[in-house]
Every structure is written in C-alpha cells, then in structure tokens.
C-alpha cells in the first residue's frame, strides 16, 4: 500500500501568525459594513448603485455574496477559498470603477492586505507560494 507523504509545511512564527491575523481582520469591518449596507438599501446605497450603473435589485444578492465570502475567509479551514472568492469580488469592484474612470486604490489595497495577512498566517499557502530569500 503506497502512502502519499507530503512534508508538512513549517508553521509560521508566533509573531508572523498574529500579524497575519491582524492584517486579515483589517478589511473585515469594511466588508461587513458594505454587505449590511446593501441589505438596508439606505439612500446612500441607492445613490451609489445608481452612480455605478448597477440595478438596485442586485444589492441584496451582492450583500449575501460578500458576507458569505467574508465568513469563508474567517474560518481557517476555508480561508484560502474565501480569499479567492473575495479577490474575484474585488476584481468586479475594480472593473466597475475602471469603467467609470474612478480610482480603485481602496479595492486593490483591501485585496493586497487580505492576501498578505493570509500568507503570514497560513502555512499551506506559504508552501504553495514560496518566496525566495536573498
């Protein structure tokens, strides 16, 4: 009987682990605020959707999608899947702002901070994307 013996990726240092969690947590309140804002359909959300060219009836489904992605990202076992889904969500947000010729630095920064935090705290991701040292 053959066994697949994959080496276990080394655990991140305690400091890298906690810095990773802090960086991972930074975008979460913004995503939650955005998701719950879509559920409430406040006048600002209505105005924002009109400005961006999105029909208002997509607000709640987008809020559900955003919330589901964040929940997946916060669960350690599904964090990589959540990060991939959030990156796709942010890609759509970036594309919307590019189409309107508006700045998209916030959306891009959220994605970078999210992935950096996950990289620092997740040994499986470190094994998948090894960074070389000089």
pLDDT at residue 37 greater than cutoff 60: yes
Residue 10's pLDDT is 72
| Residues in Cβ contact with 123 at an 8 Å cutoff, skipping those fewer than 6 apart | 8, 9, 10, 11, 12
pLDDT at residue 4 greater than cutoff 70: no
What are the domain boundaries of the chain? 14-127
pLDDT for 49-88, tens place per residue?
999 999 999 999 999 999 999 999 999 999 999 999 999 9
Give the pLDDT band (50/70/90) at residue 32.
very high
pLDDT at residue 5 greater than cutoff 90: no
| Residues in Cβ contact with 22 at an 8 Å cutoff, skipping those fewer than 6 apart | 117
pLDDT at residue 18 greater than cutoff 70: yes
Cα atoms in the 13 Å half-sphere on the side-chain side of 33: 6
Tokens standing for 57? 């009836």
**Phi, psi values for residue 54, rounded to 5°:** -100, 135
- Proportion of the chain above pLDDT 70, given as a percent: 91
pLDDT at residue 1 greater than cutoff 60: no
Tokens standing for 24? 């991972």
Q: How far apart are CA 72 and CA 83, in angstroms?
A: 8
């Amino acid at each position: 009987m053959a066994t697949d013996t994959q080496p276990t990726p080394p655990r991140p240092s305690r400091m890298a682990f906690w810095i990773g969690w802090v960086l991972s947590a930074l975008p979460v309140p913004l995503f939650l605020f955005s998701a719950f804002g879509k559920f409430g359909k406040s006048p600002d959300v209505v105005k924002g959707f009109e400005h961006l060219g999105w029909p208002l009836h997509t607000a709640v489904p987008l809020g559900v999608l955003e919330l589901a992605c964040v929940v997946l990202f916060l669960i350690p076992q599904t964090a990589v899947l959540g990060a991939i889904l959030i990156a796709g969500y942010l890609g759509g947000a970036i594309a919307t702002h590019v189409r309107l010729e508006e700045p998209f630095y916030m959306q891009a920064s959220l994605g970078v901070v999210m992935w950096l935090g996950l990289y620092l705290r997740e040994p499986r991701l470190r094994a998948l994307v090894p960074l070389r040292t000089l």
